[in-house]
Structure formats: structure tokens, C-alpha cells
Amino acid sequence: MRKTTLLNSEISEVISKMGHTDMLAIGDCGLPIPNETRRIDLALIKNLPTFIDTLKAVLEELQVEEIILATETREVSPKLYEEINNLLGDKKVTFVSHEQLKVNLKKCKAVVRTGEQTPYANIILKSGVVF
């Protein structure tokens, strides 16, 4: 049995195969996921699991050097943006439009779909290195 906190085998598999600058997205339940991008669907019911709980779990295993957020996240959901900032600290943040973020999903190794229903609760995590 795994020793780390992340128990989801699909997410662990994706993270273990990621290299420097590869991307993994976490999204709310309404984020349109491109057909060509792997979908890891965790959504159960409204707000379960939450975006923040899912992000916390992923951050236990994934070394992140940069995050990509929609400008709309900061503007429309400032409380969520503050929570993201508190978790990620001084990581580089690149802001793009929500439309551009959706285009960038095609470049992600996977998109983790949560039950979150907060507007613009979406993030792309760019993998760093541990050395």
C-alpha cells in the first residue's frame, strides 16, 4: 500500500510519468475536457470532492514550478484565488483568459475533474524538477 497521502492510482500514474514542464490540470465539474486529453473523473456530487482538497492532494506528490490560471479566477472567485495562493506560495503564476486555458488543456497529460461548482475553479500545474 502507498505510503504517501495520494491514493488515487490514476493521478499517481500520471504524475509518475511527468517530466519537467509537463502539465496536469484540475478543474471544476463544468470544465470542458478535450476528447484527446485523458480525463480522471473524481466528481461524485455537488462540491465533492472540492477543488482545493484535490489540489492539496496532488501537491503532495507533484513538484510544481509554475501554475496557469484564468484571469477570471482572480476576478470572479477572489476567495478561491486566495486559497490557491496560500497553497502555492511563491510559485510563478501565468494568467491567461479562460478561453486560452481551455485551449491549453489539449497539452495536458490529464485533467482531473472535481465536483467543484465555484466559477473558474480551474488550474494547470506545470511540473518542476526535484533536483
Residues tagged in the binding site annotation for substrate: 28, 98, 120-122
Q: Which residue among the candidates 20, 39, 92, 107 is catalytic per the annotation?
A: 20
Strands 92-96 and 23-27: unpaired
Q: Which residues are annotated as a binding site?
A: 28, 98, 120-122
The verdict on whether 20 is a catalytic residue reads yes
Q: How many CB atoms lie within 10 A of CB 58?
A: 21
Buried b vs exposed e over 92-126: b needs ≥16 C-beta within 10 Å?
eeeebebeebbeebeebbbbbbbbbebbbbbbbbb
Report which residue type is found at 68.
Answer: I
Phi, psi of 22 (to 5 degrees): -65, 155
Q: Bridge-partner residues for 77, per DSSP? A: none
Catalytic positions, written as ranges = 20
